[in-house]
Structure 1
Amino acid sequence: MGKSILVFSVVIVFLFSIAYATSGIGTFYTTYIPSACYKNTPEGVMIAAASDTLWDNGRVCGKMFHVTCTGPRNPVPHPCTGKTVTVKIVDHCPAGCASTIDLSFEAFSQIANPVAGIINIDYTPA
């Protein structure tokens, strides 16, 4: 009986984590400072810029997100690595940004082939 409850609990947690993810678009950038959140202070390389959808007048600054590639948005087949990356929001994606989360090159490279340039993603607050 105890083993059944444990298995059931793991399944529920897994399903909740899938349902909690938000779909979006991921791209990458390579110039990290200055940033809208931290000016000229470097914040490492596992960082990202938030689109207007997430920006919320800068309230998203410093928030962490788990980001996973879910598929291609262009002809590059199978860009995803199957990994998830955790990034800190440090910047605001410029006007006309094509993505929901604009990842650093290093973060993007962890979850997808950079040749793809743009991918479908799922993201959750860390």
Structure 2
Amino acid sequence: MVFIAITVIVLSLLGNEIGFVLGDIGTATSYGPPYLPTKCNGNREDQFPPGNLFVSVSEGLWDNGAACGRRYRLRCLSGNNNPCKDGTIDVRVVDLCRKSPCPSTILLSNDAFSAVSSSPTSKINVEYIQI
């Protein structure tokens, strides 16, 4: 009985980490305004989620526009000078990367980037899963 209870507690504590076992690995940078117009919803202000946790994605994730509105759970894994903050954030895709070539897999809004990284100009390694 005690062994079973301990196992359940340990699995519960690891639940957040287990969720990322099947996650993808990529890079992320920040991007700033102007955020409008976007490829997904043009000049509509209501496309941006609360807290401005949104992203622009590279061609690899864009999926011919099917990525619009997709949500990802993302966490920082590493970068120069240990920029990562603990935890995860949930973001929404609102745009296609405007640069060619795109500087990273995912471009995070300034607010989203500061939620996962303490260094605003870093390129970080991230793990992400579609939710």
Query: Under TM normalisation by the shorter chain, which class is it?
Result: 0.7 to 0.9
Q: Separation in 2 of the partners of 1:112 and 1:50?
A: 18
* Runs of at least 5 residues in structure 1 that lack an aligned partner in the other structure: none
Equivalent position amino acid for 2:28 in 1:
G
- Name 2:109's counterpart in structure 1: 104
Equivalent position amino acid for 2:70 in 1:
K
Q: Separation in 2 of the partners of 1:120 and 1:65?
A: 15
* Runs of at least 5 residues in structure 2 that lack an aligned partner in the other structure: none
Q: Separation in 2 of the partners of 1:100 and 1:16?
A: 23
Equivalent position amino acid for 2:20 in 1:
I
- Name 2:76's counterpart in structure 1: 69
Give the drift of 1:117: 2.5
- The alpha-carbon distance between structure 1 residues 107 and 11, as it changes in their structure 2 partners (threshold 3 A), is closer
Give the drift of 1:10: 3.4
Q: Separation in 2 of the partners of 1:21 and 1:4?
A: 27
- Name 2:31's counterpart in structure 1: 29
TM-score after normalising by structure 1? 0.85
Write the mapping of 1:32-111 to structure 2, written as runs, cut at 5 A.
32-42=35-45, 43-44=47-48, 45-72=52-79, 76-94=80-98, 95-111=100-116
Q: Separation in 2 of the partners of 1:78 and 1:12?
A: 23
- The alpha-carbon distance between structure 1 residues 116 and 29, as it changes in their structure 2 partners (threshold 3 A), is closer
Give the drift of 1:118: 1.0
Q: Separation in 1 of the partners of 2:9 and 2:92?
A: 33
Bigger mean CA offset, 5-14 vs 38-47:
5-14
Give the drift of 1:116: 3.8
Q: Separation in 1 of the partners of 2:17 and 2:26?
A: 19
Moved over 6 A (4+): none
Would you say 1:124 and 2:124 are equivalent positions?
A: no
Q: Is the 8 A contact 1:79 1:116 kept in 2?
A: no
